[in-house]
Amino acid sequence: MRILVVEDEKKVASFIKKGLEEEYFAADIANDGKEGLNMATTEEYDAIIMDIMLPYIDGISLLKEIRKRQIATPVLMLTVKDSLKDKVEGLDAGADDYLTKPFAFEELTARIRALLRRNETTKSSKLKVGNLVLDLHTHKVIRDNQEIILTPKEYAILEYLMRNSNKVVSRTKLIEHVYEYHFDPETNIIDVYINKVRSKVDTNFATPLIHTIRGIGYIIKDE
């Protein structure tokens, strides 16, 4: 899943991004309110982590503008302010949760997972296509009672395909959800990773699940 981090402290932003990627998320960084507004309104994200104290456009104003544009993406606010008044202001502006700095990264990821679960149409923690099961909590992938070991990037690709099972997913969509905002769309890295995922998920099993739709993208389905 893809998360936007709007944070002007570059060391903090880098720390959050690295930690999210280790937890199998894709993460983009915006270092000020203007950039955050542009990315939040032109790209598709599953969640947004946003600092309140931002250059150009502060976090509260940014959040109000995002909600004004009917963008319902879950937002977790970060701030050094911990007064009740500040928290109420953030929540009233449209925030879904609030975390005060400094924070434990484990708490940040737990809150993000809770927001994502709350935003899901189903409360199931598992995705299933045929006899392939992906556990969103443990990150384990099982097919026909055999555990399949994936790298974080391979897992992210498979998760996105499974969230969109029986639908054709374009290479562009995969790039948008798995890689960074400035990633080169002309690269063939998606094809390389799809082949790696397919070799682990489909090889040695009777029924292939991942299929190439020539000239368009990929689909995972139980035939």
pLDDT (tens digit, 9 = 90+) per residue, 32-56?
999 999 999 988 898 999 999 999 9
Query: Which range among 142-151, 171-180, 182-191 shows the weakest confidence by mean pLDDT?
Result: 182-191
Mean pLDDT over the full length of the chain: 87
φ, ψ dihedrals at 10, nearest 5°: -65, -35
Query: What is the pLDDT at residue 122?
Result: 45
93, pLDDT greater than 80 = yes
Residue 100 pLDDT class (50, 70, 90 cuts): confident
Whether 77 shows a pLDDT value over 70: the answer reads yes
Angstrom distance (rounded) from CA 16 to CA 38: 20
Q: What pTM, to 2 d.p., does this model score?
A: 0.67
Of residues 138 and 9, more confidence is placed in 9
Alpha carbons 127 and 165: distance in angstroms, whole number: 9
Predicted pLDDT at 189: 80
Domains in the chain with CATH codes: 2-119 (3.40.50.2300), 126-220 (1.10.10.10)
Contact 76, 115 (CB under 8 A): yes
Summarize the chain as % helix, strand, coil (round to 5). 40, 20, 40
